[in-house]
C-alpha cells in the first residue's frame, strides 16, 4: 500500500503539471516513474518493484482489453491486405536496419539478430495511449496504425519462435515456425468464432439481470479468463485480453463496457507507464549513451522513412502514410519480451536489455511529438520537392486489394477456402474436446453398467468408444455439412456453371475435395475409437457424410447455427440501426426505386402530438409511410394506426423526395403559436367560501364545473384545521364550505363571482 500510495500521489502531481503544460499524460507517468525509482536518490523510492511489475502486467492486459473493445478484427478484415503488406514491410526493413546498426557497433551476431527483432516491434499500448491523449483515436489513419500494430503483436509470436530456433542453431524455416503459425491461426479462428457465437448469446440471455456493476464484473472476468487461457496455450495474457475485447466489441453492450472499464484501465495503465519510467537507469544512459542515441535516431528515422514507405505500399497517400509511419517511432513491451528471451537462452549480452529499456523510454517520451511532427514534415516536403515527384510518390501507393474487381473464380475459391478452414478448425476443436474430456467420463460412467462385461464390452464392442464416437459425429455433423454445401448455390457458382462447360469439372472437383476433408474427419474419429480396417472405415465415412448431406435435421441445425452466428456478429450493427446511428440495410434497394428513408424529430410544440397516426392520415395526405418510431431508447417498428405521436419522437419515414419535402415542411410549420399572453398564465391560490345563495350548493365537484367550466382545481377543504382535507368526489358542497382553489386569475375571478 505504501508503494501504491507513493506511485499514485507522485503520478497525480506530475500529471497535473503536464496537463497544465498541455503535454500528453503518458509522458507525465514516465517522469513520475523515474522520480519514484530506486535510481533517483533524492526522492522517496518504491520498496518492492516486483509488485509494481505485477500491477503493470495487469495494466497492459486491461489496456489491450480496451483496445479490443474499441478496435475489432472486423475492422482489420474490412481493410483487406493493406495492413498485412505494411506490417511485413515494416518488420523486414526495421529488422535489417537493427542488424546493420548492431554490426556497426561491433556487437555479436546474436546481439544483432535479436536487436533487429526488438527494433521491429512498435508498442501497441504506448501508441494507443498517445492517440487517446492527443484526441486522434477516431481518425482514419489511427485505425490503420492500430491494425498494423495488432498484426505486429501476432507476428511477434512467430518471430520469437524463429529467434529461438536461430539461437539453438536450427533453421528458422523448420517445423517449429510452421507449427507456431498454424497454432496462432488455429486458436485465433477458434476463439473468435466460438466467442462471437457464445458470448453475445450469454449476454443476451442475462440482459435483464445485468446492471452497470454486474456488467463490469462479468466483462473483467471474461477478460481475465481469456488471458489465462492465452497463457496456457503459449501466448501472452495481453494478447488474450485483446481477443476477448475484440469478441465483446461485436456485442450490443460494447460501448457500455468500454465506459465502465475505462477507470480500471486508467488506474492500472498509469501504473504500467510509471513502471516503464522506473526502468530508466542514469548509469546505463551514461555508459551506453552513444549506442542509445544511435538506436533512438535509428528508430525515429527508420520508422519515419521505412514506415511511411510501407504504408504507401499498403495503399495510403504520402500524407497519410507519413502520419502512420511517424506514429510508430518507438519500441515497447514486446521488445522487452524479446530481450528477456535472449537473456534466458543465454545468447545475447547482458548490456542489451538495459540499453533497449532506455531506448524504449526515450522513444516513448518522443512519441507524441513524432505524431505531431508528421503533418509539418509533409508540408515541408510538399513545398521543397517538385510537384511531379510528389505525384509520383502518391501514385506509388497501390489500391487496396479489397477494392479491386476480383474474378469469379477468385471470389468463389477464397470464400470456399475460408469456410472450409473455419469449419475444419471448429470440427478439430470439437473432436479434441470429446476425446480429452468426454471419453474419460464415458469410460468411468459406462464401464460398470450391469449389461456390460467387466471390460466395458457388449458383443465385442467397447461401449464407451461407441457412445463417444456417435456423440462426436453428431456434434461435428453441422460443421461438415456446411463445409460441403456452402457456396454450391451461390451466384458465382451459377454464373461459372452457365458460362462454360469447361468449368463443370473444376467446380465438381471443389465439391469432391471438401467431401474428402469431411470424410477425413469421420475417418479419424472412427480410426481412433475402433479396430476395423481402413477400407471399412473409409466406406463408413462416405456413407455417414452422405447421410449428413441429405439429412434435414442436420441441415436445419447447420443453418440455425450459422444464422445465430451471423446475427451475433451483426448485433452491434443492428443496435446501431435500431437506435438511429446507422441507416438500415434495405435503404439501398429503396434507392433503386426512387424512394429513400429520412429521419424526422417531432417538435416539442407540434400540433401533431397527442394524435394517432390514423387521425393524421399521413399516407393519404403526403404519400409517405412511417416505418418506425424511436422514443427514448425504444424503437417501435411498423406502428399501427392507433400509435400516438409524442414530442421529440424520431420518425423514420419512407417516401420520394417530393413527398418527404412536403412532410418535413408541414411537420416543422404545423406547431403551436407562441403564447402572447404569458403573463396571464400565472397560477394563483384563492379561498372560495360557499355562500347561502351559491348555485354550487348540493353539487359534487364534477357537477359544479369548477374544473371543466372554469379550468380551476380544488386542492382542499378547510375544516378548522391546520391542514387542508381532500374533497371526496361524491361529497356535495354545502353552505359555509371553505374551498382552496388553484387557477389563472381571470377564471378564478369568474368563479368567485358565482359563489
Q: What one-character-per-residue DSSP string does 276-343 give?
A: HHHT--HHHHHHTHHHHHHHHHHHHHHIIIIIHHHHHHTT--HHHHHHHHHHT----HHHHHHHHHHH
- Torsion-angle region of 194 (φ positive above 0: left; ψ -120 to 50: alpha; else: beta): alpha
Give 473's contacts (C-beta < 8 A, 6+ positions apart): 522, 525, 544
The proportion of the chain whose per-residue pLDDT surpasses 90, expressed as a percent, equals 20
Identify the pLDDT of residue 399.
44
The two beta strands, 738-744 and 683-689, are antiparallel
Q: What pLDDT digit, counting tens, does each position of 614-645 carry?
A: 999 888 899 888 988 988 878 888 899 899 99
Query: Mean of the pLDDT values across residues 551-563?
Result: 89
Identify the pLDDT of residue 154.
75
Q: Which residue has the higher pLDDT, 232 or 40?
A: 232
Are 476 and 431 in contact by the 8 Å Cβ rule? The answer is yes
Identify the pLDDT of residue 567.
77
d(CA 164, CA 160): 6
Query: Mean of the pLDDT values across residues 729-744?
Result: 90
Range with the poorest average pLDDT among 172-181, 447-456, 512-521, 603-612 = 447-456
Q: What pLDDT digit, counting tens, does each position of 96-112 carry?
A: 999 999 999 999 888 89
Identify the pLDDT of residue 207.
83
d(CA 212, CA 531): 56
Q: What pLDDT digit, counting tens, does each position of 485-542 carry?
A: 988 888 888 888 888 888 899 999 999 999 999 999 999 999 888 888 889 999 999 9
Q: What pLDDT digit, counting tens, does each position of 675-712 carry?
A: 777 878 889 999 888 888 888 889 998 888 898 888 99
Confidence of residue 305 (pLDDT cuts 50, 70, 90): very high
The proportion of the chain whose per-residue pLDDT surpasses 70, expressed as a percent, equals 87
Strand partners, 596: 655
Range with the poorest average pLDDT among 137-151, 380-394, 685-699 = 380-394
- What is the pLDDT of the chain when averaged over all its residues? 83
Query: Mean of the pLDDT values across residues 164-186?
Result: 67
Give 567's contacts (C-beta < 8 A, 6+ positions apart): 574
The sheet carrying 683-689 orders its strands as: 683-689, 738-744, 713-718
Give 36's contacts (C-beta < 8 A, 6+ positions apart): 6, 7, 10, 43, 44, 45, 46, 274, 278
Amino acid at each position: 500500500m505504501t508503494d501504491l500510495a507513493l506511485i499514485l500521489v507522485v503520478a497525480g502531481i506530475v500529471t497535473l503539471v503536464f496537463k497544465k503544460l498541455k503535454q500528453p499524460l503518458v509522458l507525465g507517468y514516465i517522469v513520475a516513474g523515474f522520480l519514484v525509482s530506486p535510481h533517483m536518490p533524492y526522492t522517496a523510492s518504491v520498496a518492492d518493484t516486483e509488485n509494481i511489475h505485477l500491477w503493470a502486467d495487469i495494466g497492459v492486459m486491461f489496456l489491450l482489453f480496451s483496445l479490443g473493445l474499441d478496435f475489432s478484427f472486423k475492422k482489420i478484415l474490412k481493410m483487406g491486405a493493406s495492413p498485412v503488406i505494411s506490417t511485413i514491410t515494416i518488420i523486414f526493413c526495421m529488422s535489417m536496419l537493427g542488424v546493420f546498426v548492431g554490426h556497426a557497433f561491433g556487437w555479436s551476431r546474436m546481439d544483432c539478430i535479436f536487436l533487429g527483432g526488438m527494433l521491429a516491434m512498435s508498442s501497441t499500448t504506448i501508441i494507443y495511449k498517445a492517440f487517446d491523449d492527443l484526441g486522434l483515436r477516431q481518425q482514419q489513419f489511427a485505425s490503420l496504425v492500430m491494425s498494423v500494430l495488432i498484426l505486429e503483436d501476432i507476428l511477434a509470436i512467430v518471430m520469437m519462435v524463429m529467434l529461438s530456433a536461430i539461437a539453438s542453431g536450427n533453421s528458422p524455416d523448420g517445423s517449429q515456425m510452421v507449427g507456431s503459425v498454424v497454432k496462432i491461426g488455429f486458436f485465433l479462428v477458434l476463439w473468435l468464432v466460438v466467442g462471437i457465437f457464445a458470448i453475445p448469446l450469454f449476454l443476451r440471455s442475462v440482459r435483464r439481470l445485468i446492471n452497470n456493476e454486474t456488467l463490469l464484473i462479468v466483462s473483467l472476468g471474461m477478460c481475465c479468463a481469456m488471458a489465462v487461457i492465452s497463457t496456457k496455450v503459449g501466448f501472452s495474457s495481453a494478447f488474450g485480453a485483446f481477443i476477448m475485447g475484440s469478441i465483446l466489441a461485436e456485442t450490443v453492450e460494447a460501448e457500455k463496457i468500454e465506459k465502465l472499464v475505462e477507470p480500471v484501465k486508467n488506474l492500472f495503465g498509469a501504473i504500467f507507464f510509471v513502471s516503464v519510467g522506473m526502468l530508466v537507469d542514469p548509469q546505463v544512459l551514461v555508459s551506453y549513451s552513444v549506442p542509445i542515441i544511435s538506436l533512438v535516431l535509428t528508430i525515429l528515422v527508420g520508422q519515419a522513412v521505412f514506415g511511411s514507405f510501407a504504408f504507401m505500399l499498403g495503399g495510403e497517400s504520402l500524407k497519410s502514410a507519413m502520419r502512420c509511419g511517424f506514429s510508430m517511432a518507438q519500441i515497447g513491451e514486446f521488445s522487452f519480451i524479446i530481450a528477456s528471451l535472449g537473456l534466458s537462452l543465454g545468447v545475447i549480452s547482458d548490456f542489451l536489455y538495459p540499453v533497449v529499456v532506455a531506448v524504449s523510454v526515450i522513444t516513448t517520451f518522443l512519441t507524441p511529438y513524432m505524431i505531431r511532427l508528421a503533418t509539418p514534415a509533409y508540408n515541408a516536403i510538399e513545398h521543397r520537392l517538385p510537384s511531379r515527384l510528389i505525384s509520383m510518390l502518391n501514385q506509388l501507393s497501390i489500391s487496396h486489394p479489397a477494392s479491386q474487381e476480383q474474378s469469379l473464380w477468385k471470389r468463389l475459391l477464397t470464400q470456399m477456402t475460408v469456410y472450409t478452414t473455419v469449419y475444419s478448425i471448429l470440427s478439430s476443436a470439437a473432436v479434441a474436446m470429446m476425446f480429452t474430456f468426454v471419453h474419460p467420463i464415458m469410460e468411468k460412467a459406462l464401464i460398470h453398467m450391469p449389461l456390460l462385461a467387466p471390460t466395458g464390452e457388449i458383443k465385442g464392442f467397447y461401449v464407451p468408444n461407441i457412445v463417444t464416437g456417435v456423440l462426436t459425429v453428431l456434434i461435428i455433423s453441422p460443421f461438415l455439412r456446411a463445409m460441403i454445401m456452402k457456396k454450391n448455390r451461390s451466384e458465382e457458382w451459377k454464373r461459372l456453371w452457365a458460362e462454360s462447360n469447361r468449368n463443370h469439372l473444376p467446380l465438381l472437383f471443389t465439391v469432391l475435395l471438401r467431401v474428402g476433408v469431411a470424410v477425413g474427419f469421420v475417418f479419424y474419429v472412427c480410426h481412433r475409437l475402433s479396430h476395423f480396417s481402413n477400407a471399412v472405415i473409409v466406406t463408413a465415412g462416405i456413407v455417414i457424410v452422405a447421410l449428413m448431406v441429405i439429412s434435414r435435421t442436420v441441415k436445419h441445425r447447420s443453418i440455425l447455427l450459422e444464422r445465430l452466428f451471423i446475427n451475433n456478429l451483426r448485433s452491434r450493427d443492428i443496435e446501431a440501426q435500431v437506435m438511429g446511428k446507422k441507416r438500415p440495410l434495405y435503404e439501398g434497394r429503396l434507392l433503386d426505386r426512387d424512394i429513400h428513408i429520412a429521419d424526422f424529430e417531432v417538435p416539442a410544440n407540434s400540433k401533431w402530438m397527442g394524435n394517432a397516426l390514423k387521425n393524421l392520415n399521413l399516407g393519404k395526405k403526403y404519400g409517405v409511410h412511417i416505418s418506425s418510431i424511436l422514443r427514448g431508447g425504444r424503437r417501435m417498428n411498423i406502428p399501427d394506426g392507433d400509435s400516438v405521436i409524442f414530442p421529440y419522437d424520431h420518425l423514420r419515414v419512407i417516401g420520394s423526395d417530393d413527398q418527404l419535402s412536403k412532410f418535413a415542411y408541414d411537420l416543422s410549420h404545423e406547431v403551436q403559436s407562441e403564447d402572447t399572453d404569458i403573463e396571464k398564465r400565472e397560477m394563483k391560490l384563492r379561498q372560495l367560501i360557499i355562500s347561502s345563495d351559491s348555485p354550487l350548493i348540493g353539487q359534487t365537484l364534477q357537477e359544479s364545473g369548477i374544473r371543466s367550466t372554469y379550468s380551476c382545481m380544488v386542492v382542499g377543504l378547510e375544516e378548522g384545521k391546520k391542514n387542508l382535507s381532500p374533497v371526496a368526489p361524491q361529497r356535495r358542497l354545502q353552505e359555509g364550505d371553505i374551498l382552496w382553489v388553484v387557477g389563472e386569475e381571470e377564471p378564478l375571478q369568474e368563479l368567485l363571482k358565482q359563489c
